[in-house]
Structure 1
């Protein structure tokens, strides 16, 4: 039975820790916040990120990252995408070559436009890299609500090891060899979820959200295939599945932040009120820069970028989207 370490005591990392501990797997968690460590070890609860859910005795939290990763077969990087490179640098001196590194972040690195797996490979070239993605709110995973995700890697034998370790009767894990498609689908859907939240905040209805999700999927496929992903991947869990759950659920921090922004609350205040990283904001800037370099039309991303970073009125942004030149859907 594998031993797993989670680096980052946020909501999703904690939820997966709870799930694995219930399966009988020994789990370590490392976090920078001493309060999170003490709450897990003493109160058996992650009060800040996953309140009111018991953390089993099989989960132990650590303040020293080298102690958390020692003797673990799988190390999960459970931090936001912008923190991945620094975390990889931090753990590099403590890694053994046979330890599998798993990322559960969804995004790309700003300015370099590198996918998470590419960042990890640069910093930890001697370790196998696996990406876990899909529609999986932490609040539901922790409560054993049936969930499906996908794992991918350049070396699929390691993705299959992670599949075996994480698979339960309530958490179904698929494999997909299209690592580019899986990573890009999971990243761009955060942009569309943020836009869907803005639409809700303005007061628009189901018609508007259906339009955003459908045309948003078009943008995901357009840039995803341009970068080398397979179109069929985006109709699966990491594209269509993740898009549905993040655009429609109040568990989605991207949607919740978007709702506040749509109501006129400043972006910075919305993020502070959410209390966790809103990946869609960084993704919007990163993919706006990338699509400009690639000369790809992504009108929803365009307008959202202007709303977030150029103070464009959201309603006028919608007007711009709706009044563009007519075109064929396909």
Structure 2
């Protein structure tokens, strides 16, 4: 029996995943904007977020959260992390018991410092909670380029069942039962992408970007394992894979923010010009608190935070990193 999918969120990644699942399963996507719903249903497009992309013709869109989730066998949350709780609470009365809920968000809630699966477990106890993550740039996937992702659930049987829902041709989906590591890899790499973007914006060069990616991986692995993630997860698609894609691509929202900061633009101006949320901007606040909570040294994240929220320049950030004491590559720092 094919599972029915209800996906909440009509941004670029939510729409991309809905179009992928529509190849395998009956899928309804909820979008807030009535124009988006009309466009998907009539023209199989979502031009605001995915220009020139044709969506799967089986995909249906709705303005009603109730209609989207009430008959779904799996709920997919394509909602940014700071709005995640509110939308899930709206959907809660209409979701059937025990239905798995999968997050696409790569961020942490500011008010609670919680991961998205923790929010799911708090609001919807008894529902299997998981995450779909990895090096997945929506526009590339829509243009038919090969990509790989991870579906992470504590219960491997459920993950394997959902693997078939999300896998599609050149989009390969692997399973992983380290939900904590997979979620943290996705959230923490966005801060490193801002740092890499800042370097590219100031024309710092390929060597600098390589150093930022490598030391950034070390940094996010330290915090991720301190919080309960498994070391090997951060060397896989949800960690290193996602980090490389996000730090190297001009299609990455977080890299874009860093790049524009490197060019001298103000954060407020950059955000105002963007269609979608760059999760790393808000996540940076949470990560600095978590670094203190877990007593983990995170020099790159700290310098990014200072640029975003304390008025430091990008040059200040690089000077700060150069002043940071150099230890063994095997040790923190």
Question: Could you tell me the TM-score, scaled by structure 1's length?
Answer: 0.97
Distance in 2 of aligned mates of 1:121 and 1:51: 35
The answer to whether the 8 Å contact 1:150/1:176 transfers is: yes
Can you give the 5+ residue segments of structure 1 that lack an aligned partner in the other structure?
A: none
Find the counterpart in structure 1 of residue 214 from structure 2: 214
Whole-angstrom CA distance in 2 between matches of 1:56 and 1:234 = 33
3-state SS of paired residue (1:107): coil
Task: Report the 3-state secondary structure (helix = DSSP H, G, I; strand = E; otherwise coil) of the residue aligned with 2:112.
Answer: coil
SS at match of 1:53: coil
State the number of aligned residues: 329
Instruction: Report the counterpart of residue 166 of structure 2 in structure 1.
Output: 166
Within 2, Cα distance between the matches of 1:168 and 1:324? 45
2:181 is the alignment partner of 1:181? yes
Which position in structure 2 is the counterpart of 1:328? Answer: 328
CA distance in 2, matches of 1:295, 1:310: 21
Query: Which deviates more from structure 2 when the two are superposed, residues 299-308 or residues 170-179?
Result: 170-179
Question: 2:147 touches 2:172 (CA, 8 Å); kept in 1?
Answer: yes
**What is the rounded CA distance, in whole Å, between the counterparts of 2:228 and 2:130 in structure 1?**
18
How many angstroms apart in 2 are the aligned matches of 1:313 and 1:57?
47
What SS does the aligned partner of 2:53 have? strand
Task: Name 1:17's counterpart in structure 2.
Answer: 18
> Per-residue deviation at 1:24?
4.4
Within a 5 Å distance, the mapping from 1:1-330 to structure 2 comes to 1-21=2-22, 23-330=23-330
Q: Distance in 2 between matches of 1:208 and 1:34?
A: 45
Residues 180-206 of structure 1 show CA distances to partners (whole Å, capped at 9, x for unaligned) of 111111110000001100111122110
Q: Which runs of 5+ in 2 are unaligned?
A: none
* Helix, strand or coil at the partner of 1:148: strand
Q: Structure 1, residues 50-72: CA drift from partner, whole Å, max 9, x if none?
A: 12111232111111110111211
Give 3-state SS (helix, strand or coil) of 2:151's partner: strand
Note if contact 1:186-1:242 (Cα within 8 Å) is conserved in structure 2.
Answer: yes
Alignment partner of 1:151: what SS?
Answer: strand
Distance 1:31 1:149 in 2: 24
Q: Alpha carbons of 1:195 and 1:2: their partners in 2 closer, same or farther (altered >3 Å)?
A: same
* CA RMSD after TM alignment: 1.2
1:76 aligns to what SS in structure 2?
Answer: strand
TM-score (norm 2): 0.96
CA contact (8 A) 1:151 1:163 kept: yes
Q: Structure 1 residues 92, 328: closer, same or farther in 2, change over 3 A?
A: same
User: Can you list the C-alpha shifts for 1:95-141, whole angstroms capped at 9, x where unaligned?
Assistant: 10142211111111114221111111101113221211100111122
Given that residues 81 and 105 in structure 2 are in contact (C-alpha distance below 8 angstroms), is that contact kept between their aligned partners in structure 1? yes
In 2, Cα distance between equivalents of 1:249 and 1:194:
11
CA–CA separation in structure 1 for the residues paired with 2:8 and 2:298: 34
- What CA distance in whole angstroms lies between the structure 2 residues aligned with 1:322 and 1:8? 41
Deviation at 1:320, TM superposition (A): 1.3
Quickly say closer, same or farther: Cα 1:301–1:159, change in 2 above 3 A: same
> Is the contact between residue 13 and residue 78 of structure 2 (CA under 8 Å) also seen in structure 1?
yes
Aligned-partner Cα distance in 2 for 1:288–1:326: 21
Deviation at 1:151, TM superposition (A): 1.1
SS of residue matched to 2:193? helix
Structure 2 Cα separation of the partners of residues 217 and 262 of structure 1: 21
Quick one: distance in 1 between partners of 2:183 and 2:56? 31
Q: Kindly indicate whether the alpha-carbon contact (under 8 Å) linking 1:24 and 1:58 is maintained by their aligned counterparts in 2.
A: no
- CA shift at 1:82, angstroms? 1.3
